Amino acid sequence: MEQTGKISKEMTIDEILSTFPQKGQKLAAALASVGLECVGCCSASYETLESGMMGHGMSDEQVNKMVDLLNEILEEKPLDLEKVHLTKSAADKFKEILSEEGKEGWGLRFGDHPGGCGGYEYTLDFSEKPLEDDVVFSCFGVDLHVNKLDLPRLKGSEIDFHNGLRNSGFKISNPNVRSSCGCGSSQSY
């Protein structure tokens, strides 16, 4: 199949992810957000996106919306790979949580630690102020505090927030990840 730089419903999930590896994590997260959990483990290489979604009981309209969403992800401006990023939806949700907790003005601590079946697990926490060994990144009115020692594994990451019936919560796309576990809670570099 000739590639036009866009995703179509006739492409297989394998084809989508292998054609656009630089956006693979975000594309996989979008697919998983509608219940296509087969990404990365048991997707049928011969099955198109359309037939896979229809096989999960989804409509033509849902298939077309997914194709549009995947192509929007492809069109997003590339991130600065030397920084850590927070999307507007993640910043808005974090500010909402800060307000509920009475911690307005606090930052978001982002890091990782050894754990899980993949090697490392991400950590997100409240941070009243940066520590001496932190690098601070600001996005949409939220300061991200990242320890200098963690930064080589985390730079280029984007923290997003998805809200829906499945897989709601903060989602992290990290270009440094080489593999992740089947449950999606840990990764290796």
Q: What value does the mean pLDDT of the chain take?
A: 85
pLDDT digits (tens, 9 = 90+) for 48-69: 899 888 888 899 999 999 999 9
pLDDT for res 158? 92
3-state secondary structure of 99: helix
Q: What is the mean pLDDT of residues 130-148?
A: 97
Residue 89 pLDDT exceeds 50: yes
Q: H-type helices in the chain, by residue range?
A: 13-19, 24-32, 49-55, 60-75, 88-101, 151-154
The pLDDT tens digits of the residues spanning 146-173 come to: 999 999 999 999 999 987 666 678 988 8
Q: Are 157 and 172 in contact (CB under 8 A)?
A: yes
pLDDT, position 2 = 39
Residue 180 corresponds to which tokens in the numbers above? 């992740």
What pTM value is reported for the model? 0.68
The per-residue pLDDT for 1 is 36
Domains of the chain in start order, with CATH, are: 13-75 (no CATH), 85-188 (2.60.300.12)
Q: What is the mean pLDDT of residues 172-185?
A: 72
Taking CA 96 as the corner, what is the angle to CA 174 and CA 146, rounded to the nearest 5 degrees? 35
Q: Please determine, for residue 110, whether its predicted confidence score (pLDDT) is greater than 70.
A: yes
In the prediction, which pLDDT does 173 show?
85
Asked whether residue 5 carries a pLDDT value surpassing 90, the answer given is no
Tell me: pLDDT of 134 over 90.
yes
Over residues 90-108, the pLDDT tens digits come to 999 999 999 999 999 999 9
Share of the chain above pLDDT 90, in %: 50
In this structure, are residues 117 and 181 in contact, taking their beta carbons and an 8 Å threshold?
A: yes
Average pLDDT, integer, range 129-156:
96
Partners of 92 in the beta sheet?
A: none
Locus of tokens 């033509």: 60
